[in-house]
Amino acid sequence: MERKTCLVTGTSGFIGSRLATALEAKGQNVYCLERYVAGKTIYNKHSIKTVFADLNDHFAIQQIIRTIKPEVVFHVAALSPVAYSYDHPREVLETNYLATVNLAETCMREAYLKHFLFAGTSEEYGNQTVFPIAEHASLFPNSPYSASKVAADMYLKYLHETYEFPVTVLRPFNTYGRTNDTHFLVESVIWQMLNGDTVNLGMEDPIRDLMYVSDHVNAYLACFEQPQQCIGETINFCTGKGWAIPKVAQLSAEILNWKGTINWNTLPKRPNDIMNLTGANAKARQLLGWKPEYELEEGLELTIGALKQQQPEVYDVVKCIPKSNANRSSCR
């Protein structure tokens, strides 16, 4: 594969950190872009070069783009907790929409760019009536977070249609496998089971398409390796299977041999919450040959194993290659 200069935003986060490491392992020239936070310990687990800037700082971003001259930008940075967005809508819009505009416009004007990969979200679809949800479905954002992503999505499509801006919009569905953030569904269930006899959860009704982190990272790699197949496209990345929350909890309890009690409806309900987010992945399969490699039970086992260690997971690149080529024992 041709060596390219890649800029990955949001590398202090869940997906960005793993994506940067996977790209480096493939021999790419990788730069991480992070926002400097006073008092934060910079723990660089790899040799990847890191630059610091606020994505809304036009002059700082312009200087970084001119210096690095990235051929490929993976824009993964975002304020992603949906619940947080209800109370901080302006911050979320500035971070997810305006910062995307600033970065994309700067990349376009500096003319080094060959591919801009944008992290959209399944949350953009909102409440649908036809399942599984395909890319042609109308968008019904129902939170400041999803509205900010739709706005960024639309702006990038405008740039592509008007100026042939080389963008790919990825719409990953709910991803799990975190080890340092237990506020999301799967991680919250497991963490509570590991630490007590009671689990407090919200509604039982929602259905979610749950994708293990390695499949998510592989989605970016598939787009990166086949730009001719995906530039100008919006592509779902998901398993195509919907899981009810009680079933997820049941599977986790069985793996852990947990015999405690689950208290439902003990967490605040989101306004106009999405009842079903089950996606269609036919487009990803047809265009890129991508498919999810991890079944839910296997992903839960991996997540449980990592959370039991009670430390941030050291990313293993072997998790982000197709199952048929991986040494499965090294992933457990």
| CATH code, domain carrying 205 | 3.40.50.720
Domain ranges, residue 155: 5-331
pTM of structure: 0.91
Q: What is the pLDDT of residue 40?
A: 54
Q: What is the pLDDT of residue 51?
A: 95
How far from 218 is each of 34, 132, 172, 230, 235, CA to CA, in Å?
Answer: 22, 21, 11, 14, 13
Number of domains in the chain: 1
pLDDT string in tens for the chain (332-residue length)? 799 999 999 999 999 999 999 999 999 999 999 987 655 544 455 568 999 999 999 999 999 999 999 999 999 999 999 989 999 999 999 999 999 999 999 999 988 999 999 999 999 999 999 999 999 999 999 999 999 999 999 999 999 999 999 999 999 999 999 998 898 999 999 999 999 999 999 999 999 999 999 999 999 999 999 999 999 999 999 999 999 999 999 999 999 999 999 999 998 888 889 999 999 999 999 999 999 999 999 999 999 999 998 644 333 333 344 444 444 333 32
Q: What is the pLDDT of residue 1?
A: 76
